Amino acid sequence: MLKRIETWFESIERRMRGSVGADIAQREARRRAWLHFHLFDHAFFRYWWTNFDKVAEGVYRSNHPDPARLVRYKEMGIRSILNLRGDDGRSPWLFEKEACDALGIELRTARIYARKPARRKEIVALIDTMRQMEKPFVMHCKSGADRAGFASVLYKAVIEGVPLEEARKHLSLRYAHANWTATGIVGHIFDMYEARNAESPIDLETWFRTEYDHNTAAESFAAKRAGRRTT
């Protein structure tokens, strides 16, 4: 019964997502996009829960902001936004792009994932983009739990030079990150690095740029979860 409801809900979401298009200037398109954004992307929930926190001086993390919150970010002095969901042309991106353009906030993307390992080039692009961002900036994903947590750990460890053990506090239940679920893959990537570094020292950025492999990460995480289920 629950599976049927889930499938029905997903089919409605797909139809609504497909009906939005890339232009929200027209009233009807805007109405559909706004409904999709609030109902299916859970923007209504993020009115009260922002998952906002400081990562470093001039660097913050949060869940996906709506236009009203972007106004508040502008008032705080935020100069740029890093969207970790990517430019997918869907309603969350359309409203964010429109608001950032109107407010004069630079909007950049560096797409990574919550339930599968990002490729090497995607993680390297994220590191490079974070170095280039004009501060103060906010990085965000959808809920601000997993992708924002992964990026925050990267920023603290790679760019700030903070010990990884301390940086990893940004992947915790405090931010609604659950490492025992499929989203645990983002933390597992750092587990892989720590195991490799224990064999012979290598800094985290060098490991990502020269050795990290997303297929290996996916396979080892799947094996880890399978082992957990059988014990």
**Which tens digit of pLDDT belongs to each residue from 5-47?**
444 445 545 555 555 556 777 778 888 888 888 888 888 889 9
Are 152 and 186 part of one and the same domain? yes
pLDDT for residue 86 = 93
Q: How many domains does the chain have?
A: 2
Q: How many CA atoms lie within 13 A of 219 on its CB side?
A: 5
75: pLDDT confidence band, cut at 50, 70 and 90? very high
CB atoms within 10 A of CB 138: 25
Domain harbouring 142, CATH code: 3.90.190.10
Q: Are 96 and 35 in contact (CB under 8 A)?
A: no
* Percent of the chain scoring above 90 in pLDDT: 76
Are 32 and 135 part of one and the same domain? no
pLDDT for residue 159 = 98
pLDDT for residue 22 = 65
Q: What are phi and psi of 199, to 5 degrees?
A: -70, -50
pLDDT for residue 20 = 55
Are 34 and 119 part of one and the same domain? no
Are 28 and 81 part of one and the same domain? no
Q: What are phi and psi of 136, to 5 degrees?
A: -70, 145
pLDDT for residue 167 = 98
2: pLDDT confidence band, cut at 50, 70 and 90? very low
Q: What is the pTM of this model?
A: 0.88
Are 77 and 162 part of one and the same domain? yes
pLDDT digits (tens, 9 = 90+) for 97-122: 999 999 999 999 999 999 999 999 99
Are 57 and 12 part of one and the same domain? no
Are 31 and 99 part of one and the same domain? no
Domain that holds residue 10: 1-40
Mean pLDDT in residue range 191-212: 98
pLDDT for residue 31 = 85
CA distances from 133 to 57, 58, 82, 88 (A): 13, 10, 8, 21
Are 103 and 16 part of one and the same domain? no
Are 22 and 115 part of one and the same domain? no
